[in-house]
A and B are shown apart, each in its own frame.
Chain A
Amino acid sequence: MISLFARLELGPIFRALMRNKIGALLIALQIALTLTIMVNAIFMMQERSQQMARPSGVDEANTFYLSNTIFAQNYNTQTSMQQDLQRIRQIPGVVAATQINAIPLSGGGWSMSLQTKAGDDVEGTGAAVYMVDEQGIAALGVELIAGDNFHNSDIGWRDVGSTKWPPKALISKALAEAMFEGNWKTALGKTVYIDNHQPVQITGIINTLQAPWNGWNGVERSMLVPQQLDGRGSRYFIRTEPGRRDELMPVIEKMLAETDRGRIIRNVTSMEQTRDKSYQEHQATNTILLTVIIVLTLITGFGIVGLAMFSINRRTRQIGTRRALGASQWQVMRYFMLENLLISTAGVVLGTAGAIALNIWLVSTFSMSPLSPVLLLIGVVALLIVGQLAVSYPALVASKISPATATRGRA
C-alpha cells in the first residue's frame, strides 16, 4: 500500500500544479461551470420528463374527439346531438361516445371552486369541470374507484349562459384528497358547494383525470358533472376498441358530415396528438437543455485535451527525463491522468457548490423542487469520467515520448 501511494506521485503533481496555476485553474473553473449548469439542466429536464410521464387518466391510445359547429338556421341542437351520439355508438368498434365541454391537456376548459361549506368567504379548492353524459366515464376510459356512474336520468341540458349546476358530481381522487385532508374515501356521499352556495353531492370517485392545463399545480383535480351543453358548438369524445382508433376517425368524421349538412365537422384529433401538443414546449426545452449539456461537456472535454496537449508539448523534455529515470509508459500516462483528476476534483468541488447555489436560487425564484443529491453525485462522477476520457489520448501521446528525448533535445 505504501509503495502504491509512493508511486502515485500525488504530492509532487499537486505541488507542480500549484506552480502553474492559471491553465489548471481555468479548466477547473470550466468543469465547475459545466457541473453547475449540467446538473441543474438535467434536473429541469427530469422535472419536465416526470410531468410528461404523468398519466392523464384517459385511455389515450384509443380515444379521439372532434368539433361540431352548427351554422344552419332553425336548428334543433339537442335532437341533432342525441342523434349524432346514437349514430356514433352504433358504429362497430366504438366503445362509447359522449358530448364534452373540454378536453384534458388541451389547454382550454372550465374550472370552478368547490367548498366543503357554503358561503361567500369560504376558501375553496379549484377543479377542472367536465360536462358529460352517462357514457362519459366509458368514453374517457377513466376508472371509477368508488360510488356510481351517472344514470341517463341524471343528465340535464345546460344553456350556454346558465350558472345552474347539477346536484351530483364525480370527482377525482386528487380533488377528494385536497378537500378532505388526504382521505379521499370520506368524500363519497358528501355534499360540497359550487359557486359558493349550490350543493353538489359526490356520488363517485374516479382514480385519475387530468385538467386541461398541464402547468397548473392542481392538474390532477377534476370533476365530472352530468350535463350536456346546449349550444351551436360542441365536442364529441369517442373511445374505440383497442387498435381501431385511426381506422374509425375518418369514418366517423365522414358519417357526421354526410348525415347533416347544416354543420361543420372539424378538428378531428386523437388524445395522443393532444398530449404531444400539450407538451411541445416541454419537449423543445428538454432538447435545448440537452444540447446545452452536450455542447458544454464537449467544450470542457476539448479544453482538457487542449490543456493537456499544451502541457505535454511544453514538458516533452521533462517526460523524456522521467522515462530515462525509470518511468514506464504506464507511469507517464498515469501522471497526466492523475494530474487531470486533481484538476477535475477541484472543478467538481467548486461545481457542487455552484450547482447547489444555483438550485437554491431556482427553488426560491421559480418554486422548483430542491436538487437531488443522487443527481449531483451522478454529475460529479460523469464529469470526472469525461475528464479522464478527455485526457487519456494526450496521456497516451505523452507515454509514447522516447526516453532518448532526455539527451537528444538541447532546449
Chain B
Amino acid sequence: MLTMNKISKSFITDDVATHALRDIQLHVNEGDFVSVTGPSGSGKTTFLNIAGLLETSTSGEYLLDGEDITKLNDSGRSRMRNQKIGFIFQSFNLIPDLNLFDNVDVPLRYRGLSASERKQRIEYHLDQVGLASRMKHLPSQLSGGQQQRVAIARALATSPRFLLADEPTGNLDSQMAQSVMSLLEDINKAGTTILMVTHDPSLAARAKRQIYIKDGHVSELTNKNSNLHVVGEA
C-alpha cells in the first residue's frame, strides 16, 4: 500500500543543510498499524508529513496505492490527501468557528459530495464516536478527548484507506488516551491502515509494527505480523 524507496529530506537555510530523513526504505501493507517513535528532532514529523503528502521529499520514490506521489503536482497531492488519507493531529486541529457538523463536513465538501450524502456520513461518524447529540456544539464546548473523537470522525468521514495520527493522545490524560487508542485499534481492525507517531512506548507497543526513527534513519523494532516488511538501518 505504501512504499518508500530511498526517501530523503533536507532543509537548507542560508548555508546550513539539515538532513531530516536519510534514504528511508519502508513498505506498509494494507491493514497495518504502524507506530513511529523516536526522540524529539529525530525526523518523526517530517516522516509523517511526507507519508501524508503534506511535504515533498528531496529525493527518492514514494508509492501510495501504486501511484508515484513524487510525480504529482500540488493539486494532485491535495486530491490524493482528500481521497485516500485521513489525519488525526495532536492538537486536534478542529476549526474553532465551526460546529462539529461543519468541522466533519470540511473534507467532504472538498470531495464534492452531495449535501444528503455528506449529512449521512457526518451523522454516522459522529455517532460512531459518541458525539451525534452534540453536532451543533462548538469545539470549545468539548473536552480534549471529545475534540479528538471529533477529529477522528472527521478523518474517517472520507473513508480513507490510510490514517495518519500525529501524537493523537499527546494532549489527553491517560484515561482519554486509552479510550482514543482503543478507538484507533477498532478502526484498524475494520481494515484501515494506520501510521501513528507517538512518544508513549506503551501505546507504541500496542501497534502491530513499531518503527523507530533516529537522526533521520528508520529501523523496525518489532513486527507482530507474520511477514517482515522492513528494510531499514539500525
Stretch at the interface among B58-66, B104-112, B186-194: B104-112
Q: Size of chain A's interface in residues, with CB distance under 8 A?
A: 33
Q: Is B225 an interface residue (CB 8 A)?
A: no
Cβ-defined contact, A7 with B54, below 8 A? no
Docked complex: B89-131 residues within 8 A CB-CB of A? 89-91, 93, 95-99, 102, 105-115, 118
Cβ-defined contact, B52 with A6, below 8 A? no
Q: Is A201 an interface residue (CB 8 A)?
A: no
Taking CB atoms, residues of chain A closer than 8 Å to B109 are 6-7, 9, 12
Q: Is B27 an interface residue (CB 8 A)?
A: no
Total of A-B residue pairs, C-beta within 8 Å: 105
Which residue of chain B is the closest to A5 with respect to CB atoms?
B115
Q: Is A269 an interface residue (CB 8 A)?
A: no
Stretch at the interface among B71-79, B176-184, B199-207: B71-79
Cβ-defined contact, B93 with A328, below 8 A? no
Taking CB atoms, residues of chain B closer than 8 Å to A11 are 102
The secondary-structure label for the interface of chain A is: helix
- A16-B97 contact, Cβ under 8 Å, with A7-B109, A407-B45, A407-B54: yes
Q: Is A151 an interface residue (CB 8 A)?
A: no
Taking CB atoms, residues of chain B closer than 8 Å to A6 are 108-109, 112-115, 118
Q: Is B82 an interface residue (CB 8 A)?
A: yes
Cβ-defined contact, A407 with B49, below 8 A? yes
Q: Out of B48, B74, B102, which one reaches A329, CB within 8 Å?
A: B74
Q: Is B67 an interface residue (CB 8 A)?
A: no
Taking CB atoms, residues of chain A closer than 8 Å to B79 are 326, 328
15 A-B Cβ contacts within 8 A?
Answer: A6-B108, A6-B112, A7-B112, A11-B102, A12-B98, A16-B98, A19-B138, A323-B78, A326-B78, A326-B81, A329-B75, A403-B78, A407-B48, A407-B49, A407-B166
Which B residues lie at the A interface, using CB under 8 A? Answer: 45, 48-49, 52-55, 74-75, 78-79, 81-83, 87, 89-91, 93, 95-99, 102, 105-115, 118, 138, 154, 158, 166
Which A residues lie at the B interface, using CB under 8 A? Answer: 2-3, 5-7, 9, 11-12, 15-16, 19-20, 317-318, 321-331, 402-404, 406-408, 410-411
Closest A-B pairs by Cβ, 4 of them = A326-B82, A16-B97, A325-B107, A3-B112
Extra A-B contacts (7), CB below 8 Å, given A15-B97, A407-B89: A2-B115, A3-B114, A6-B118, A19-B97, A326-B83, A407-B49, A408-B49
